Each structure stands twice: as C-alpha cells, then as structure tokens.
Amino acid sequence: MRRILIIDDEEDIREVAALSLEATVGWEIVTASSGADGIRAAASSRPVPDAILLDVMMPGMDGPTTFLRMRENPDLVDVPVLLLTAKVQGVDQRRFAGLGVSAVLFKPFNPLTLAAQISEKLGWQD
C-alpha cells in the first residue's frame, strides 16, 4: 500500500484529495496544513511517504521553499514530490520543473482520476 503526504493550506483540497486516494486505490494518506507541518510530518513518518502532493501557494512557507527544505533532509531527498497548482502559465511551469520536482498537477483536479495521474507521473504500475 502506498503512503501519500498531502500538504495544502486549504482544508477542502486536503479532504477531497485524501478521500479520493483512499477510496479509489486504498492508499494511506497523511495530511499537513502548512509547509513547516509538512516537513515535520514527512520527516517523522515511518516509513517515509512514497510521494508528496505539495501545494504551491501557501502562507508562510510556499511550496517551492518547502520542497527545497525537504531536500536538505537525507531521509526525504529521494521522495518524489508533485506540486499542486492553479498556475498554468508556461513561465510558472518551467520554474517548477527547474526545481527538480517529479511532476506538476493542476487544480482543480478530478478526484476520480487523481490516483491515476499520480501513478502515471511517477511510473507506478500497481
């Protein structure tokens, strides 16, 4: 069973994504409402998450900053991170890709296909 960490400051987004992934594919979901909480959750989770869905726009520490801080932790350096964003402009997409994230997913997402999108982006066959 896959373990996914969802980091998003919007409670409704966290809930919809979590329910979607639990109901459609039975993945175990951990959530956090801020970048700092997400870093703590990822670092303390055993085993570490199989992937992290990370919102771009959050108060305090934004998604790109959260991602870079996670990469400083040796336990998290290999965990794939998928950014969740409403920003669809090419310049934003190139900036996100330049960070080294595994993929960028767009909001609003379809809850019925979210697991398939994640699996496709990460090359998961199960």
Q: What pTM was estimated for this model as a whole?
A: 0.94
Q: Is the pLDDT of residue 126 over 70?
A: no
Q: Is the pLDDT of residue 22 over 80?
A: yes
Environment class of 22 (CB within 10 Å of its CB; exposed 0-12, middle 13-18, buried 19+):
middle
Q: According to CATH, what is the number of the domain 3-120?
A: 3.40.50.2300
Q: Where are the domains of the chain?
A: 3-120
**33 within 8 A of 83, measured Cβ to Cβ:** no
DSSP state of 82: E
Query: How high is the pLDDT of residue 88?
Result: 66
Which of 67, 102, 104 has its CA nearest to residue 87?
104
Omega before residue 59 within 30° of 0, cis: no
